[in-house]
Structure 1
Amino acid sequence: MMGRVITWARTLLRSESATTSVEFVMVYPIFLLALLWSIETCIWMMRATSLERGLDIAIREVRLGSLNSMPTYDELKDIVCDYSGMLGDSCTTDLKLEMQIADPRAYVGLPDDADCVDHSEPIKPAINFTVGQANNLMLVRACARIEPVFPTLDVGNAMKRESDGGVALIAVSTFVQEP
């Protein structure tokens, strides 16, 4: 009886049937994970580039004076959202702008902590949005909150996460207020 079990075990161990399936089961998840990570990263990068482009074009319109006057906070936010195509329909609710005057001789930049929209907290008014006077150097920072495409992959560990799970995209621009 024991001889049959040993013979059966040797036959089973020498058999090469289904070895491809075992290799597939072990290697496929790694390739799938790499594919999903690259898709998440590409979409995140397209959204970040879209925000940068939207902010740059909006600031260019302000700088060149193609608008009748300096836009208000909501008007500038609408202009940025109009030029940022990849941010989606909720751009105006997920975007927050900061603007402050910078002294070129004693430069103090924007604070390191960007103020982004957090849907888990009550709505806070726009902070630090100062419309400058003629010949002032202005710093503008836009912070958009986006949802990850694959939130369970946890690709965004290196990205700034909000308490509600969204990822913060940050873009910065400067311009001089023309007289």
Structure 2
Amino acid sequence: MTRRTPHKTASRLRRALRLFRKREDGNATVEFAIVIPAFLFLLMNTVELGMITIQQSMLERALDQTVRGLRLSTGVPKQHNEIRDEVCRRSGFIRNCGTSLRLEMVQVDPYAWTPVDPVPDCINRVEDVQPVRNFVTGDSNELMFIRACMAMKPVFPHWGLADDMDNDADGRIRLYATSAFVQEPR
């Protein structure tokens, strides 16, 4: 057996490292392993933002159409559940709308303005249908403020965008839509 000197071992190790550094096989794998998490993060956040945007725009559109119907009707004022069902019927894309949507409607005096509570109520769980916070149907020629709040489960609840949004205790994202109208004379 021949003994290797530390000098020969070190030079052999340097030569092996130099050859390893010059090799290019596996190069794409390293790039893939570094870049793919960033692309997946972007893709998942894009899907999440798209779902939130679609549901927000559908909620706003449904509330606007329902308020238009309320404004133009001169019959009996509708109650909370009727208006909620009308918003849900028109929204189309909102899952579990009947149990995840909450409406608030208050009469506002434009000459003696008092601000409406800036924090709307949302339903915390689909199973818990809470009583109406404040729902006044209003009389002829009264200015009415209506606000819809819905809670939705994010597509990717613990990854990226959903963690940074306004979430409730169950991890649901809260979406709001508001409108105002004047009751037509009867």
Query: TM-score with structure 1 length normalisation?
Result: 0.92
Q: Which runs of 5+ in 1 are unaligned?
A: none
1:96 aligns with 2:92: no
- Which residue does 1:33 correspond to in 2? 41
Aligned residues: 177
The farther-off stretch of 45-54 and 154-163 is 154-163
SS in 1 for 2:177: strand
- Which residue does 2:50 correspond to in 1? 42
Query: TM-score with structure 2 length normalisation?
Result: 0.89
Q: 1:21 aligns with which of 16, 29, 46?
A: 29
Give the Å deviation of 1:123: 4.3
Give the Å deviation of 1:120: 8.4
Question: Percent of counterpart pairs with the same letter?
Answer: 36
The farther-off stretch of 165-174 and 13-22 is 13-22
Counterpart-to-counterpart distance in 1, 2:160 and 2:12: 50
Counterpart-to-counterpart distance in 2, 1:65 and 1:94: 26
Give the Å deviation of 1:31: 1.4
Counterpart-to-counterpart distance in 2, 1:69 and 1:95: 23
Residues 140-171 of structure 1: CA deviation (Å, up to 9, x unaligned): 00001111011121413443211111110100
Counterpart-to-counterpart distance in 2, 1:158 and 1:173: 26
- Which residue does 2:86 correspond to in 1? 79
Aligned partners of 2:156 and 2:162 also within 8 Å: no
* Runs of 4 or more consecutive aligned structure 1 residues displaced over 6 Å after TM superposition: none
Residues 106-125 of structure 1 correspond to what in structure 2 (within 5 A)?
106-119=112-125, 123-125=129-131
Letter in structure 2 aligned against 1:47: Q
1:143 aligns with 2:149: yes
Taking only aligned residues, the RMSD between alpha carbons, in angstroms, comes to 1.7
Letter in structure 2 aligned against 1:16: E
Letter in structure 1 aligned against 2:152: I
Letter in structure 2 aligned against 1:5: L
